Amino acid sequence: MLENLRYAVRQLLRAPTFTIVTILTLALGVGANTAIFSVIQAVLLHPSGVQDPERVASFHAKYTQLNLPSIGVSAPDFADAQSMHSLVDTAAMVQQASFNATFDGRTQHLNAGRVTSQWFQVFGADPILGRTFLPEEDQNGAERVIVLSYAAWQRMFGGQLDVIDKKLLLDNQSYRVIGVMRSDFAWPKGVELWTPLGLAPTAFAANNRFNESYNSVVRLKPGVTVAQFNAGIEQKRLEEIRREGTGNFNFGQSSGWGMFAQPWTEDAAGDLRKPLFALFAVVAMILLIACTNISGLMLARASTRMKEMAIRSALGASLRQLAMQFVLETALLAGTATVIGVVAGPLLGKLLLLAIPHDLATGFAVHTDLRVVTAAAGFGLLAAFLAGLAPVVQLARRHKSLRLTEYSKSATAGAGRQRFRNLLVCIEIALAFLLVAGSGLFLASLRQLQTVDPGFKSDSVLTGKVTLDATNYRNQDLKQANFIHDVTSRLSEQPGVVSAAAVYPLPFASMQYPSASFGIEERPPVSPDDPGPHGDRRWATAGYLAAMQIPLLQGRWFSEEDRIGTPPVAVIDDVLAKAYWPGRNAVGQHVRFGRDTPWVEIVGVIAHVRRDSLEVEENKGVLYRPMVQQPVSEAVFVARTKINPDAMRTPLVDAVHAVDSSEAVYDVEALDRFVNDSLAARHLLVWLLTLFGGLALLLAAIGIYGLLSFTASQRTAEIGIRMALGAQRWQVVSLMLRESVMLIGAGILAGLVLTFVAQRVLIHSFAAMNTGLSLSLVFAAFSLLLAAAIASIVPARRSASVDPVIALRNE
């Protein structure tokens, strides 16, 4: 073995160009796969700061009859999950919150999470300073305490180690700091501090069963699967809803209500899941192309060493001994490439994570750990197997017929010996065609999605969010309404502002979108437990339609007269109108949100506005209420301008502070950014596919060049004879290119088939994949023909430059 190893090293050192090209090509494939795996590990398998993430599940409710496949849970739902002690270690709830924090003489907005006491235990997260919440602190009326995120600790307290027990003013109320979390934990995403949820016992009463206001996570016991938990929670659901009485039971049955869990990592990854899996498939093809390329090079190199193999066989070497030589050489090449991949892969993964938009990548970090190293070693072994298989197979097939006379100096490579190398090049071309055409398909789909009408005009609109101070504005509807009215009035008076308004929630702003069932006056429920119609809810001011340029289809929009004390009104979109008033005029109809609430008159119908995605077509209607008639504690101010919206940032903040200087304005961004960010994952996928498609073209060109160069060297004598008999240079070039054209044609044909199959698969996972196929195929074919022409011209011209006298004299 050692002797063979030394010989293998000498052989590789004698061919430095081949060795360097092979190592770099394999390192490229192994490194790319390791990079993607390191990101998948960070996003899908082991997110930062979470211990044993495979045991953490997110807990949801659903209403199949109300088109709500996955929403939050209610307090009674959570209590059911928490009580399943045979399956669940611990469980916790969270409710998104925000505070206006006063420190350093300034008011700033902080994203917060109101959590139950076991929140950090579910994730296995320990603080670096202090402690987390005690059960007695998670009670209604308990002392106000907070745990800071690492970023908030650094920003607000400069990383002071004596921060424990210091006070922080949040919404004009004092909170005591009891802990600081480590830097790699910030769940839910974007949270800067945590405070106890502190629910009253009445929140867990049966009449709150269908009041889903929280998100929930559970830590399963070791060995318990999500499927086992779902089976247990289904049984628990039936038991509890029967115990709670016929009202809840009938409503649950008629609305298709249920509870379920899914791996928490699926929720954490969000929109990154599909792009990462697609990229993993792409880099796997890159590794296959690289291995195919190297396999062809090694096969060509093995052909030049068949005389050596024949001599060794004549001296008594067995097939195992001969094959071992190729195996060792391949192992040395692949092992060196794997070492490079282990070092470079995670670094490339970190660069890839930096390329991912911040909103998608928050909370994830790439680390080099045993899993990443093991994966890289696995990719290296796969590369060694795929690259070294061909020469070993060829040797095994020809071992018994090895003859010195067959490999004399005058022998040329026959068609049989070329067949397998030709097949490898065809595979390269087909895979490269698939990647280039695939990038074209995704680019075409992105362009089509960019033309999708969101229902409003996002250009020249600036937005800024305000969360009203819970202390100063709680239960003061008139004060909230006056604040909203005064800010929009001041904002509309600013130079350059065409129209200004307020809305909650803002479309495409990654906010929570409330929804509710409602009753229709002319259509009484079938039974008291009938879930009735259902729709999303939004609140807006009088200038909203003008600021967003949303078409009014029927009736009117809200006016300044629609305020507190006037008859309640609402406006619906055309989706809701078609769903519950098909073929009729919905204007003048009345709805209400509960038996004890007043009837609300529908005064208008507007065009449907997409909620948060240009990719997903929502089929859920929306009901709007006047924000100054039914105030809410959050508002997003929007201003349509005649100038660059970025120039209105300061005037927007000044308009808010002129009304109430204690309120913080945050997320001040152009509306265009939110709309574009909804396609961030698709942009990333297109960019990386284009990069990998270009890489595949380069590898395919190298493969074609290597094959033709080897063929030319093997046919030197034949070409010399042809030229001695009068063949012209162009005829020799034509002879050499003919084989190249046939290979490229076969590869493109196979690539066409693969692309058609891939498109049929992708249509089911990605939106707008039914467009741009013809143009993508033409572009891929042209790119490959161009790359092949560049790769073929050098060996073809070299063949045509053969001096027949020298060629025949060498024979």
Give 692: exposed, middle or buried? Use CB within 10 Å, 0-12, 13-18, 19+.
buried
Cα gap 393→149, rounded to integer Å:
59
Structure confidence at residue 720 (pLDDT): 64
Summarised one tens digit per residue, pLDDT across range 558-573 is 999 998 989 999 999 9
Max avg pLDDT among 401-405, 676-680, 756-760, 786-790: 756-760
Structure confidence at residue 497 (pLDDT): 92
- On the question of pLDDT at 298 being above 80, the answer is no
Cα gap 652→664, rounded to integer Å:
11
CA distances from 560 to 311, 481, 488 (A): 99, 12, 12
Structure confidence at residue 32 (pLDDT): 83
Peptide bond into 222 cis (omega under 30): no
Which one-letter amino acid corresponds to residue 456? F
Which one-letter amino acid corresponds to residue 307? K
What value does the mean pLDDT take over residues 727-740? Answer: 68
Cα gap 475→490, rounded to integer Å:
24
What value does the mean pLDDT take over residues 303-311? Answer: 70
Tell me if residue 516 falls in helix, strand or coil. Answer: strand
Question: Which residue would you say has higher pLDDT here, 290 or 719?
Answer: 290
- On the question of pLDDT at 67 being above 60, the answer is yes
Summarised one tens digit per residue, pLDDT across range 375-388 is 888 888 887 777 77
Summarised one tens digit per residue, pLDDT across range 93-140 is 999 888 888 776 677 888 999 999 999 999 999 999 999 999 999 998
Summarised one tens digit per residue, pLDDT across range 126-137 is 999 999 999 999
Helices (H), ranges, 316-405: 319-355, 358-361, 370-398
Max avg pLDDT among 25-34, 391-400, 511-520, 632-641: 632-641
Cα gap 718→710, rounded to integer Å:
14
Neighbour tally for 179: CB within 10 Å = 21
What value does the mean pLDDT take over residues 265-277? Answer: 84
Cα gap 195→214, rounded to integer Å:
14
| H-run or E-run covering 694 | helix 680-714
In whole numbers, what is the pLDDT of the chain averaged over residues?
84
Chain-centre distance for alpha carbon 318 = 53
Summarised one tens digit per residue, pLDDT across range 602-629 is 999 999 999 888 887 777 899 999 999 9
Nearest to 797 by CA among 667, 705, 726, 671: 705
Nearest to 383 by CA among 343, 433, 434, 331: 331
- In the block, residue with structure tokens 């990605």: 766
Summarised one tens digit per residue, pLDDT across range 484-525 is 999 999 999 999 899 999 999 999 887 778 888 888 887 776
Q: Who contacts 694 (Cβ-Cβ below 8 Å, separation ≥6)?
A: none
Structure confidence at residue 411 (pLDDT): 44
What value does the mean pLDDT take over residues 734-754? Answer: 82
Q: Indicate the pLDDT class of residue 91, thresholds 50, 70 and 90.
A: very high
What value does the mean pLDDT take over residues 746-767? Answer: 89
Beta pairing partners, 99: 110
What value does the mean pLDDT take over residues 757-766? Answer: 88
Helices (H), ranges, 194-272: 226-243, 246-255, 264-269
Summarised one tens digit per residue, pLDDT across range 167-188 is 988 888 899 999 999 988 888 8
Peptide bond into 524 cis (omega under 30): no
Q: Find the distance separating the first CA and the last CA of the chain, reported in whole Å.
A: 37
What value does the mean pLDDT take over residues 22-29? Answer: 82
Per the CB < 8 A criterion, the answer to whether 476 and 509 are in contact is no
Cα gap 679→695, rounded to integer Å:
24
